[in-house]
Amino acid sequence: MSNEGSLDGEIEAALEGINLQDVGLPSPPVGGAQKKGGKGEKILQKGTIAGVDKSDVIVDLGPRMQGVISIDEFDPAPQIGETYEFSLAGQEDGLWLLSRKDALALAALDELEVGSNVKAKVTGQNTGGLELRVGGLRGFMPASHAAIGRVEDLSSFIGQHLVCEVLELDREKKQLLLSRRNVERAEVDAARSETVGTLTPGSTVHGKVTRIQPFGAFVDIGGGVEGLLHVSNISRKRVEDVSEALNVGQDVQVMILDIKEGGRRIGLGMKQLEPDPWDDAVHRFRDDQIVEATVVKVLDFGAFCELEPGLEGLLHVSQMGDGGGQRGGRNKPGCAPGEKLNVRISSIDPMERRISLSMLDSRGAKLGSEEAAGAAEIDSVLKDSSQQIGTNLGNLFKKALGGE
C-alpha cells in the first residue's frame, strides 16, 4: 500500500462520523456578503488604521471612505498608521463593515500548498482530533497527527501555536488538513543527520540507556540518535542477562563501532573501552599451568570457564574424566555455572583467542587423584638432575604408586 493510500485511510478513520461544519471548518461559499443585503463577489481592500477603542477599529480605505471592524479580529491589537487588507462586508450608517478573517483566509489560500508548513493556533478539540486556525482560515488535525508518539490528552494543545504541514487543501471548501507529526519527524531526521555527521567509528560518546531487550540495550547518544549496544559488547565479562548489567536511564560511555544506513543503524560497544585481557595473556598464563576457573556456561559438549574477567576457556566433556562426572553422567558435563574448578591449560592461542582446558594431567590422570599425584612425583624425580645415575627407578615407581 502506498504512503498516500495509508494517509487517506488514516484521515478517513479520524473523520469518521464527524461533520466538518460542526468542528468549525468553513462551508463552501454561497455568494458572500458585500453591500448590506446584496449579492456578488467579495472585495479585498487595503486600509490604514485611523482609530482604536475598546471594541472597534476605524479604518481609512481611501478618500472620503472609511470602515469599521471589531478589535477582536486583531491579535495583537493594531496600532494607528498600520496597513492591513480587509474584505468589504456591506455598509451601515455610512461606514463599510470590514472583516480581516475573510481577507486572511483568501490570502492564505493563495499562498498555501500541500506539503508546505504553516503556523496554526489550536482553538479546540473533538473526538477525532484538533481544531486549528491559520490566520483567518480554519483547519483540522487528526489525533494521530498531533505528535510522533501517542498523545493521551489532546486538550493540552489548546491555545498553543504549532508549526504544521499541510496534508490536504480544498480551496473551494476552504478546508485544511494539518499534521504536526510530519514536522516533528522532519526535525528529528534533520537533527539525526547533523549528529551522525559528527560521528566516526572508534570515537567515544556519552549516552543514556532508553530501552533494554534480551539481545542488548538501545542508547540515546543525542540529537535524536539511538544506537544498539549488543549484549556481546557490554562487558569483557560474559553477560547473560542485560537487565543485570544495565538499567533504563543509566548514563554510559560507549564507543561507536559502526554506522550503517545513513545513521539509522549504529553499533555501540562498552567492552571496547575496557583493557583487553588478551593483550598480555601469554605472559600470565602458559601451557600445562594449573589454575582455578569459574564455570560460566554449561553446554552438552562441555563448559566455558572464566580464568579472569574477559578470559574464558573451553573445558570439553572429554577432558573432565569419569565419563563427564557424576552430575552429568557419561558424555555430559559434570559441573554447574558458578562452580570453581582446578583445571590445566592444555593450550592457549592468543591469535585465535582460544584456550583449551582439561581436568586431566598430561598423562591422562584426573587432577587431584592419587594417580595424578604419583605421576607428578615420578616426573619430578626424572627431571631432578641431582639424582644419582644408579638410582633404582623400579623402587621409585613402586614407592610413587603406593608400594613399600
Q: What is the pLDDT of residues 13-70, one digit of tens each?
A: 555 554 444 444 333 333 333 333 344 456 778 899 999 998 899 999 988 889 999 9
Amino acid at 89: A
Higher pLDDT, 101 or 286: 286
Task: Give the burial string for 315-338 (b: 16+ CB within 10 Å, else e).
Answer: bebebbbeebbeebeeebbbbeee
The total domain count for the chain is 5
139 closest CA partner among 157, 123, 154, 160: 123
The pLDDT score that the predictor gives to residue 23 is: 43
The pLDDT score that the predictor gives to residue 269 is: 95
To which residue does cell 448590506 refer? 36
Residue 182: phi, psi to the nearest 5? -65, -35
Looking at the structure, tell me whether residues 364 and 375 fall in a common domain: no
Looking at the structure, tell me whether residues 21 and 117 fall in a common domain: yes
If one counts every other C-beta atom within 10 angstroms of the C-beta of residue 84, the result is 19
Looking at the structure, tell me whether residues 129 and 15 fall in a common domain: yes
Computed on alpha carbons and rounded to an integer, the radius of gyration of the chain in Å comes to: 41
Looking at the structure, tell me whether residues 16 and 116 fall in a common domain: yes
Q: What is the pLDDT of residues 118-174, one digit of tens each?
A: 888 899 998 889 999 887 788 999 999 999 888 888 999 999 988 899 999 887 777
| CB contact at 8 A, 239 and 313 | no
Q: What is the pLDDT of residues 349-391, one digit of tens each?
A: 888 889 999 998 888 888 876 665 555 555 555 555 444 444 5
Range of the domain at 262: 200-273
Tell me the sheet residues that pair with 354.
349
* Residue that finishes a domain, picked among 185, 215, 235: 185
Looking at the structure, tell me whether residues 250 and 116 fall in a common domain: no
Looking at the structure, tell me whether residues 307 and 353 fall in a common domain: yes
Residue 176: phi, psi to the nearest 5? -120, 135
Model confidence, pTM: 0.49
Give the span between the Cα atoms of 311 and 130, in whole angstroms. Answer: 59
Looking at the structure, tell me whether residues 237 and 312 fall in a common domain: no
Q: In the Cβ-directed half-sphere of 127, how many Cα atoms lie within 13 Å?
A: 7
Amino acid at 338: G
In a domain, 97, yes or no: yes
Residue 57 CB-density burial (10 A; 0-12 exposed, 13-18 middle, 19+ buried): buried
